Structure 1
């Protein structure tokens, strides 16, 4: 891995590219949730090259993403979006990159949106070949359909027990909703899944989605009894190696500010690219 510390610069074009990939990811997962629950239970609305998504009650996919790179939404469009969330008893949550058009933030705050938290987007430059690191006693392999439920269980457990280091997350989701969202995403978003195996049992899992030269690291977790053994480092190395092999030029991951996840990512050579402000309006 590249641990030279050479800064990776993120300009507006790169941020727009990453946000576009995020919009695609959320859209695909939300569509899958609508199919599972029945049409009309949720919605997807385009918003100035971004998207407003409602997958199902209490879902982590309920958000407005990708704003600020395709113009400023007017009051009519925002009224429509806010009403759609209100009809489902949900607040409007906007994730707004700090490299986006600042006029979007001004419009939202004038409409009563409040800043509740932040999340960081980190990047890793992919070039040439990347090695695979496999700790003793652990195997890393593509995850097959026969172990999908165990893989989802490991990932859902990881999300249910988030970092306690750094700025705490303001979001909490029921474990069954997390598991459903993970299942929707891996089934609809074209992800590659990986399992970490010890003595024949799945003890860790991770996934990556590759699009437009971007490798989105979309989730990783290790069973508590197998932590501190290098499982996450090995899962990361496998994903970076595969992403570089198919021509991706950058890998990205989202973390809570100051979290253990961010610390671990930066130790592996990731650089902070930009921050998303989380703006919420109760409907």
Structure 2
């Protein structure tokens, strides 16, 4: 699958929308939060140690000027956190040089993979497994399953450059659901054994996490969860599904086995917050 700069712009716009919406959900819960538009993307802060604390979607709406970067760096510094930019390698090439010239340091990468949705998707029904939308009455169970999955990190491939406390993963997952992600559960032998979600925006289906409880693994639950989300996304007129993984990870290997292609890579660049003055 070929990824043009136009397709990358669509995906990055959807990503910025997701993180900004999740940040707004965090703000509505009463926490300190901001989402500042910049360079076609957004600079977001959703509380200390939040996975949403970053600049996303940058570089597809023109390169930011120095004043714009000054403003977001000041906003992050006021919260005592570094400014982290996730920059697609298909974005405006001048931005990387601009950031490194301002003291940003490359700390890692993440891969964006996708597959077209063309109506050939079909559901998968392993024995004893049922995939269904998740109701509000079981939200906490859904949340626990997803968070438990994130608590068991992928050990294959490149190690992530940061880790998050369990409570912040739970808060971000809750906010992502509030931001419009459709929730699913997998029932295996009568109990909820897996969970996942998808957010659909502008024809892009963003796979926003899935997990299976250890006791129920190797029964085809992840495959069935993925298939259900792809079928429903295609029915909702999405033409592409995307997922973000760590480079060389088991997650990347699994989705590539299921028809996803590597579209582009995001460089993760960080500028530390200034040390507080005495």
Deviations 1:232-279 (A, max 9, x none): 100000000111112111100000000000000000010000000000
1:239 aligns with 2:232: no
1:14 and 2:4 matched: no
Q: What is the Cα deviation at residue 57 of structure 1?
A: 0.7
The count of aligned residue pairs is 273
Which residue pairs with 2:267 in the alignment? 277
Aligned position for 1:5 = none
> What is residue 153 of structure 2 aligned with on the other side?
162
Gaps of 5+ in 1: 1-7
* Displacement of 1:37: 2.0
What are structure 2's unaligned runs of at least 5 residues?
Answer: 274-278
Q: Deviations over 1:137-177 (max 9, x none)?
A: 11111111111001101111111212100011112000011
Structure 2 residue aligned with 1:29: 22
Distance 2:220 2:86 in 1: 32
Q: Is the 8 A contact 1:129 1:245 kept in 2?
A: no
Match of 1:145 among 127, 132, 136: 136
Helix, strand or coil at the partner of 2:29 = helix
Q: Tell whether 2:38 aligns with 1:47.
A: yes
Distance apart, 1:200 and its partner CA: 2.5
Cα distance in 1 for partners of 2:219, 2:168 equals 29
Corresponding position of 2:91: 100
Distance 1:203 1:10 in 2: 35
Deviates more, 1:130-139 or 1:11-20: 130-139
Q: Does 1:209 align with 2:194?
A: no
Q: CA deviation at 1:225?
A: 1.1
Measured after TM superposition, the shift of residue 199 of structure 1 is 2.9
Residue 123 of structure 2 aligns to a residue whose secondary structure is: coil
Residues of 2 paired with 1:124 and 1:53: CA distance? 28
- Please give the residue correspondences for 1:74-85 in structure 2 after superposition, counting only pairs within 5 Å: 74-85=65-76
| Runs of 4+ in structure 1 over 2 Å off | none
